[in-house]
Copies of this chain bind each other. A is one copy, B any other.
Amino acid sequence: MAAENNNAEEITEDMREEISEHAKKLVSELEQGHEQAFKADFDELHGYDQGQFYLNLPSQLRQQVIDWLDPSDLADVFDEIPLDDDLDPSELLKEMSPKYAAEMLDKMYSDNSVDFLEELNAHDLGMYLSLMPENDSQDIRELLNYDDETAGSLMSHEFIAINENDTIPEAMQAVKIAAEDAEQITYIYVLNDNNKLVGVVSLRTLMLANDELHLRDVMDTNIISVTPDEDQEQVAHVMADYNFTSLPVVLDDTLLGIIMVDDIVDVIDEEATEDYSRLAGVDVDSNDDNPLKAAAKRLPWLVGLIFLGMGTASVIDSFNGLVATAPILAVFISLITGTAGNAGTQSLAVAVRRLAFKESENIWKMLGSEILIGVAIGVVAGFTIFGVVSIWKHDVLLGVAVGLAMGIAILVANVAGAFIPMIMDSIGVDPAVASGPFISTLSDLTSVLIYFNIAGLFIKLFGGI
């Protein structure tokens, strides 16, 4: 399937190949100075592909693109460049003249230009802002004030807002004029004479409405909105529940901006990756091709936990006399620490997700429930171990000791797994910071304490095990 034959292309190897064919053509046009051909062919690409093409160019050819494209055209490209750790926006901007860069940033959707600007140092930020029209730089300064990961930091100012007294044809005309700049035209926001948000109307409703009506007659007054300081995870839930493609950000009935669903898709993806990374104790999103760098990123957690693990080792060491008397005790160390660690990881994961969704407002109820779960799991696992050990070693007393230790160790790990993220949440730390490896290493410590104390008690009481 060639691009020329106007056929639909599937995202397949074919298509990727085609994109790279197209990219090669663009590069040769850049190198040979074919400005018009380049512009026409570049225009055929989707925004995302334009962004990827631009990023993958050598700096020198990017200069050529900058020379040929208007700041407003390049703004469309930059709107589609995803900002991640591997990208330094200030380097990209320094390839342009300050005036060009400022104009381009100004033409981008405000949420995107803010994402770029907040990565800059204070000097560069000030420079670019001072080169923008006063109004626009004020707009952006305002957006820069919102905390990262809040609704305010996600919103853009490019929405369509129309007075409620407009007739349907007037409103349609206003939408047409605004469509050039707005980030979306699916929802039109309706303001009263005091510029307060009083309703929302979909373009679909507008198109189907009778020409004699006014906006106030067709608008939906039941507005679902978020405040600018709302956490982005909560914003994502609202958007996911209501299936909107944009959501207004409102404070005191004033419409401050809108959040688009594609930004929410990114938020959900980011938050999920973050939670997953923390549960594993490694940043799964860093695409380091260099194994040494990747190892360097994983080591801090591992080495830190080795020192916590040394605590466990010294607990066992302090019971060394006991192990010398009853070497059989060593056999079950890893079974008990491993199983308790697994149970702790389970309850940690459940607690982190519950806290993220704020499903359970009542922390004590959640903790009570986790204790009951711990007891239930501890009893079943303890009896299982009791049965297996008694039969295997023909020693009921040993079975009781190991089973009892296992049951209690699981209960403790379960409660710790749920309690630690709750404490973190209540002191304002993201509960997802408590990693799986941390909980299981911590539970190793409590588990061996419980195990050897119970074994010691049994030996004292029954004179042996």
Contact surface of A with B, Cβ cutoff 8 Å = 3, 6-12, 44-48, 80, 175-176, 179-180, 185-186, 196-199, 203-204, 207-208, 221-227, 230, 234, 238-245, 248, 250-251, 253, 255, 261-262, 264-266, 268-269, 272-273, 275-277, 279-282, 284-285, 287, 289, 291-292, 294-296, 298-299, 301-303, 305-307, 309-310, 312-314, 316-317, 320, 323-324, 327-335, 337-339, 341-343, 345-346, 348-350, 352-353, 359, 369-370, 372-373, 376-377, 380-381, 384-385, 388, 392, 410, 436-437, 440-441, 444, 448
Contact = CB atoms under 8 A, between A and B. Distances in A.
A20 to B, nearest CB: 14
Contacts of A279: 276, 279-280, 349, 436
B373 A281 contact: no
Nearest to A365: B289
Given A282-B350, A309-B339, 9 more contacts: A10-B225, A10-B251, A272-B276, A284-B349, A291-B370, A298-B377, A305-B342, A310-B335, A334-B337
A207 B176 contact: yes
B261 A240 contact: no
A282 B377 CA distance: 13
Contact of A7 (B198, B280, B380): B198
A11 B377 contact: no
A24 to B, nearest CB: 16
Contacts of A343: 298, 302
B298 A346 contact: yes
B245 A338 contact: no
16 contacts: A11-B225, A11-B226, A11-B238, A46-B224, A175-B207, A239-B265, A265-B268, A280-B436, A282-B349, A291-B370, A292-B376, A302-B377, A306-B384, A314-B331, A316-B331, A338-B341
A225 to B, nearest CB: 5
Contacts of A339: 302, 305-306, 309
B309 A320 contact: no
Nearest to A260: B243
Given A268-B272, A269-B268, A327-B323, A353 B176 contact: no
Contact of A306 (B225, B269, B295, B335): B335
Contacts of A230: 10-11
Contacts of A238: 11
Contacts of A6: 198-199, 221
Nearest to A353: B284
A348 B280 contact: yes
Contact of A338 (B276, B296, B303, B312): B312
